[in-house]
Structure 1
């Protein structure tokens, strides 16, 4: 009866935890839906860590093969996205080590969140677009670890504790890195002060 209920729920787009539960029950459609739902965002994140399409794709494939292989032993995931990001980073790290490669953040594809994001709306649309482009350029100048933390926090909306777990560092290190990133942007892109103020306000709002 439980499996029938899950299959019925899968006929519509369902929250991640429904798919995760169905996957643990061996539902292939749930597995396929999770793959389709997260492949692109996982690839984008992985490619920032290691700009090698083949290795990143191999890491994603290995990750999902493992998910299906150990489906019955999977623990409950409060955040499926967090689980997948953390697992992918570990996979890529292992593959990079095996290939004698180093993880880095590919900042050539940095883009800001959509203009419709409330935190980034300014009164003058043309001025906002200009600031958006300038901030994107400024972000490319950040050190790799700072850029990764900013990417996970602002682009993927992970919490501080989740970023720490994904990167294998402490909460304090994440906060310090975010602070250094903001300081770096303030010092090296003073013309962005109004925009950075909104980012800083967002950090404080979330207790960072």
Structure 2
């Protein structure tokens, strides 16, 4: 009489290579262990670039989902951890490039009389900047304008906007990209001033 012996595998004690081999074979427990092992570090790594916890987590989750979905296609040259962090690096850079973020040295602007509320032409410059902003908004397609306002004025994440408007995240990103390009045409000389005013709460 033969007896079937089952061996319990402690995934926490497996090496990264063992876990990756398991992932390629469709082992969800191996995949979950990789996720638990590296996800927190990956989020922290993304924060160095984005300074945005929610965005870092979103990108990190996307990377792990992509790894699982493409586990049969991905070629790991060194080790899975290097692949994961390299993917995070490039996705963060790509995110910042697409978003076309504008960095402003607020402290420097506070010392610049042109941006001071005590400046004699401040009210006029602020009104002109705000008028340019409103004009740019009004030239956008209504759906594009709504997406942009939800993102920039109500601080909703891309996923929250997608859920609220019942559209895809890709559509949200496309609208934001379109809006930013249009804004630059209208801000021109007033862009830096407007951002400084908004960030300093003037």
TM-score normalized with structure 2 length? 0.44
From the CA coordinates, give the structure whose radius of gyration is larger: 2
TM-score normalized with structure 1 length? 0.43
